[in-house]
Amino acid sequence: MYRQVNIEIEDRNFQKILWRDNPSSPIKTYRLCTVTYGTASDSYLATRVLKQLAIDERSNLPKASEVLLRNCYVDDVLFGADTLEEAEKLIPELQELLCSGGFKLHKWCSNEKSVLERAIKTENSKNSCEIIDAKSIKILGLE
């Protein structure tokens, strides 16, 4: 997720890596263009970008924006619905919202097969969709 969040061009000079393949090689300088996992601000920047995306798109996709604002934990989105129809309708809206910010949902878990089938059918997840069929799942590394 972090590599999908771009750094402002004027801030990229503050994210440089000096590298050489061996001690006798000249030093190469690389400028990082995306948020780097392991930096002090990585989780803040990633979650802030998701929050801002939800705020910006609230008028276009209100239900998906609400899910993202209330049910996003770092890079996991957990949500439920009162009916199957509501859940199945929310999937493409959530994918559209995240896609507009350059993010893609790629793991799905549900206790209802039709919801998983809906996730597979959507265009955004055809190429890289992992269906998790388990009685319990890990969220933020906890089961």
- Do residues 97 and 61 make contact, with C-beta atoms less than 8 angstroms apart? yes
Predicted local confidence at residue 123, as pLDDT: 54
Q: How far apart are alpha carbons 50 and 76 in whole angstroms?
A: 11
Which residues, in sequence order, are bridge partners of residue 95? none
Predicted local confidence at residue 77, as pLDDT: 84
Predicted local confidence at residue 87, as pLDDT: 87
* Phi/psi at 46 (5° precision): -65, -45
Predicted local confidence at residue 132, as pLDDT: 59
Report, as ranges of residue numbers, the positions in the chain whose pLDDT lies below 70.
2, 122-143
Predicted local confidence at residue 125, as pLDDT: 47
- pLDDT tens per residue across span 17-43: 999 999 999 999 999 898 888 888 888
Predicted local confidence at residue 45, as pLDDT: 85
Please tell me the pTM assigned to this model.
0.72
Predicted local confidence at residue 20, as pLDDT: 95
C-alpha distances out from residue 118 to 57, 62, 108, 110, Å: 23, 20, 10, 11
